[in-house]
Amino acid sequence: MFFSKKKFRLAAMIAGGILACSMFTGCGGSQGGEGDKPAGDEIIIGANFELTGNHAQYGANANNGLKLAIKEVNDAGGINGKKIKIVEADAKSEAAESVNAATKLISDDKVVALVGPAVTANVIAESQIATDNKIPVIGPAATNPDVTVENGKVKPYVFRACFIDPQQSEVMAQFARKDLNANKAVLYIDSSSDYSKSLGKIFKEKFEADGGTVVMEEAFLAKDQDFKAALTKIQTANADVIFVPAYYEEVGKIVKQARELGITAAILGTDGWDDSKVVDIAGKDALNNTFFCTHYFEGDAEVQPFIKAYKDEYKNEPNVFAALGYDAGKMLIYAIDKGGNDSEKIRDNIEQITDLVVGTGKITMDPATHNPIKGIVVIETKDGVRSLRTKIAPVVPEQAAQSESGN
């Protein structure tokens, strides 16, 4: 999501190689021999999330969603009389640290599966150590195609709960052309985020393939506060839409400052916008004529049980990371229920998920790519209130070609 592939691969190779040699006494499916399995009435899973560092807000929310899903099943009696125990480790928002955390969870804590980290770079970094030890991984929010497929081959132990970047960009490019009748677009991306760069690149390809023109491209950096210089340039383009594939903190400030400059064009985004705090940052009026795609609409009846449960547990609204962490938890619960305390069977059962009810709706796993088949919604904000603009039915996602960037 935020690292070049070369950097996090190098970090993963170094950390993974050292730790694998020093800590693992043997590699084998399902936690090795019988004596290595967790004893007693517990099934142990690992939560490897960014709890500190630059991505801690994403990791913490996804972790909360996972914990809620596990709490629900444990409160209902567990699985076949066994409670699921979560062991947490901090990926520290770094690829190498995600390997350290995964190594500890697998070697010391004897987990049967891993959930997390939240961002792509860290999921990819841990995937080799998990695969070597035949431990299934579910990345809740890692949208880069490379997470589950590398060089055209699916990674056997790595799955995700979210749709991939090409789906989001294609949906928003088509929405801009067909629903908003946009002919000219501007890209305004976070150049420090591979997530943002990947989405921008694909949006441009799809928008122009459909007859539109990207007339200007501008960039900012995460944690920037003043966007007016770039927005003043963007204003001169007289574009119909401005595509801002970024996260809600910067998005809120960009939208607010754009409207203050008199920019009235539609502003479009992706699932990184999906947090109620964006209204607090931008202001209600500024968000008029803005649209973004995401995983669910809170007004749908099928997602109400999750939203209520989350609010009851944490006393605040869930964001998209929390929802996807919960979805990953529900996927893992299903797989454990079908496969017990056996990592290989858990892996097989994740791959075979069909029409599973999760927090954001229903999900089916595509065994060829380990991407979920799930619907996408486009949300419109008007006077601070979000409404469903359109819903795209689930389709088998096309796995994009390998790239050097992504969520």
Which of 78, 73, 82, 80 is CA-nearest to residue 39? 82
Q: With respect to residue 400, please indicate whether it lies within any of the assigned structural domains.
A: no
pLDDT in tens, 132-143: 999 999 999 998
Q: Give CA angle at 130 (397, 127), nearest 5°.
A: 45
d(CA 119, CA 234): 29
d(CA 35, CA 67): 27
DSSP symbols for 354-378: -SEEETTEEEEEETTTTEEE--EEE
Is residue 228 within 8 Å of residue 257, measured between CB atoms?
Answer: yes
d(CA 155, CA 149): 6
Q: What is the pLDDT of residue 255?
A: 98
d(CA 73, CA 295): 23
Asked if residue 277 and residue 252 are part of one domain, the reply reads yes
Sheet holding 83-90, edge to edge: 83-90, 42-49, 114-115, 137-139, 158-160
Helices (H), 133-241: 165-174, 194-209, 228-235
Q: Number of H helices and number of E strands within the chain?
A: 12, 17
Q: With respect to residue 404, please indicate whether it lies within any of the assigned structural domains.
A: no
Asked if residue 35 and residue 142 are part of one domain, the reply reads yes
d(CA 327, CA 234): 38
Number of folded domains that form the chain? 2
Write out the E strands in 26-174.
Answer: 42-49, 83-90, 114-115, 137-139, 149-150, 153-154, 158-160
Q: What is the pLDDT of residue 396?
A: 57
Across the chain, what does the average pLDDT equal?
88
d(CA 6, CA 360): 33
Q: What is the pLDDT of residue 310?
A: 97
Asked if residue 112 and residue 151 are part of one domain, the reply reads yes
Asked if residue 198 and residue 346 are part of one domain, the reply reads no
Sheet holding 213-220, edge to edge: 213-220, 184-190, 241-243, 266-269, 290-294, 376-382, 385-392
Q: With respect to residue 403, please indicate whether it lies within any of the assigned structural domains.
A: no
Asked if residue 155 and residue 134 are part of one domain, the reply reads yes
Is residue 82 within 8 Å of residue 105, measured between CB atoms?
Answer: no
- Name the more confident of 223 and 27: 223
CA torsion sign, 144 to 342 to 332 to 20?
Answer: negative
- Judge whether residue 215 has pLDDT over 70: yes
pLDDT in tens, 340-395: 789 999 999 999 999 999 999 999 999 999 999 998 999 999 999 999 999 987 76
d(CA 303, CA 293): 16
Which of 259, 327, 250 is CA-nearest to residue 296? 327
- Judge whether residue 231 has pLDDT over 70: yes
Asked if residue 202 and residue 68 are part of one domain, the reply reads no
Beta bridge partners of 266: 241
Q: With respect to residue 402, please indicate whether it lies within any of the assigned structural domains.
A: no
**Mean pLDDT, to the nearest integer, of 8-25?**
43
Q: What element of type H or E holds 185?
A: strand 184-190
Out of 203-207, 249-253, 296-300, 328-332, pick the least confident: 296-300
Q: With respect to residue 259, please indicate whether it lies within any of the assigned structural domains.
A: yes
Q: With respect to residue 312, please indicate whether it lies within any of the assigned structural domains.
A: yes
Is residue 150 within 8 Å of residue 320, measured between CB atoms?
Answer: no
Asked if residue 65 and residue 15 are part of one domain, the reply reads yes
Asked if residue 132 and residue 23 are part of one domain, the reply reads yes
- By residue range, what is the domain housing residue 202? 165-294+375-392
Asked if residue 338 and residue 222 are part of one domain, the reply reads no
Q: Which domain CATH number covers 351?
A: 3.40.50.2300
pLDDT in tens, 108-138: 999 999 999 998 889 999 999 999 999 999 9
Q: Give CA angle at 267 (263, 271), nearest 5°.
A: 155
How many CA atoms, within 13 angstroms, populate the side-chain half-sphere of residue 86?
23
DSSP-based three-state secondary structure for 149: strand
Asked if residue 382 and residue 369 are part of one domain, the reply reads no
Asked if residue 125 and residue 137 are part of one domain, the reply reads yes
Q: With respect to residue 398, please indicate whether it lies within any of the assigned structural domains.
A: no
Q: With respect to residue 158, please indicate whether it lies within any of the assigned structural domains.
A: yes
Residue 324 pLDDT grade (very low, low, confident, very high; cuts 50, 70, 90): very high
Asked if residue 363 and residue 281 are part of one domain, the reply reads no
